[in-house]
Amino acid sequence: MAYVGVDSAGHSVANRNMMADVVTISDVQVILTQPGSSRLVIVRVLTSEPGLYGLGCATFTQRTFAVQAAIERHLKPFLIGRDVDRIEELWQMSMVHGYWRNGPVLNNAISGVDQALWDIKGKRAGMPVYQLLGGKVREAAAVYVHADGSDPQAVADDAQSLVEQGYRHVRVQMGGYGGPVSGMHRPKDPPDGNYFDPRSYSRAMLEMIDHVRGRLDVSIELLHDVHERLHPIDAVQFAKDVEPYRLFFLEDPLAPEDIGWFNTIRQQTATPLAMGELFNNPHEWRPLITRQLIDFVRMHVSQIGGITPARKVAEFADTFGIRTAWHGPSDTSPIGHAANLHLDVWAPNFGIQEWYRPAEVEYEMFPGMPRVEDGYLYPNDQPGLGIEIDEGLAAKFPVDEIVEQWTQTRLPDGGPARP
């Protein structure tokens, strides 16, 4: 490191050119892999210091190749030669460099670089990222996991199995996000698609939650994800109907386009509400936080641009008594899960962390990936994000080039619906 001295005339001088100490971005690489059902986008930022690099998550599994192109064709040329320490400046400039902003493709691309820069800064400091944020306020993050089944009994059995593994928070679904489809009344020759009936869904889910609540000890917290599938007024009714079961929270009861209805839900029920999975733009979460219309923010960290904006959201929500519950499904990469965990152990207003129970091959592919012990996710305390990637193993799992089916959703009459 350069030091500053004083010459014979009393002027400050450095013992050598200060620019020699600046570490710059030398390359930005994209790694695509699919060890499970989700296509993962990993960003590696290389630096002018030999052997120093960072990893970040840019996973937008439904638009993998668009994110790859955004990084390789647009962000990379802009970033080469920039100072790795200027994370905030690079995030701000990357966000406006394309003029139009706050879209999922660009946000994920920026996130991959942002998380990698935080990883680099931690490695240079010899500290985990949570130390750079301000240090731990807890030793580990409580997680919730998913139970599913074809009927209430099967869901309860799955949930009981998870409880026996040490989990204390369980999200209960039945038949996937749209619920059972058997017996659905449809017109002749309906088009292909992922069908669901909103009214039937509401009835079936209430029956299922009632059954599971009766099976599990009252100390086990239950959650449920509506996945924006109900019409707003039906979401209001569902939130009221589920209130006696005292959910830990009801997840994404409304679509982003319908957030004006949160005021009505809030007036009608005390069911805790979590929202944000599809959010990209601060204008989507700000009114829900400032008006205290939700209890948990649960954005997808790469979807909003990485650790830099997520830290600000957590601090902003904390001033209004709202907790974090970052999105953590299989289409967040292990790099992204590590980033979530650093935010979790630092944030004073942490609530819960979604966890998807990765396969063993993912632990092999991503050395340092955090593990759950008795319902808690623990950081490994290594510098940076504390996670690596075995690129040779990742290459053995190339991404599929498919057209997504589950997002081609339809109502019983065949009309398109939001997923």
Q: Which of 53, 144, 177, 201 is catalytic?
A: 177
Q: Which of 146, 169, 227, 337 is catalytic?
A: 227
d(CA 31, CA 336): 14
What is the identity of the amino acid at 278? L
Listed in sequence order, the residues at least 6 apart from 9 whose beta carbon sits closer than 8 Å to its beta carbon are: none
φ/ψ region of 248 (left if φ > 0, alpha if ψ in -120 to 50, else beta) reads alpha
For residue 116 the two structure tokens come to 């990698």
**Selection from 60, 144, 102, 93 nearest residue 286 by Cα:** 102
DSSP string, 336-400: HHHHHHHHHHH-TTB--EE-----HHHHHHSTT---EETTEE-----SBT-----HHHHHTSPPP
What is the identity of the amino acid at 408? Q
User: Long-range pairs for 328-331 at CB < 8 Å and ≥24 separation?
Assistant: 328/143, 328/353, 328/354, 328/355, 328/356, 329/38, 329/354, 329/356, 330/36, 330/37, 330/38, 330/356, 330/358, 331/38, 331/39, 331/40, 331/59, 331/61
Listed in sequence order, the residues at least 6 apart from 3 whose beta carbon sits closer than 8 Å to its beta carbon are: 14, 15
* Residue 227 falls in the annotated catalytic set: yes
For residue 74 the two structure tokens come to 């647009």
For residue 299 the two structure tokens come to 């954005």
Annotated active-site positions, please? 177, 227
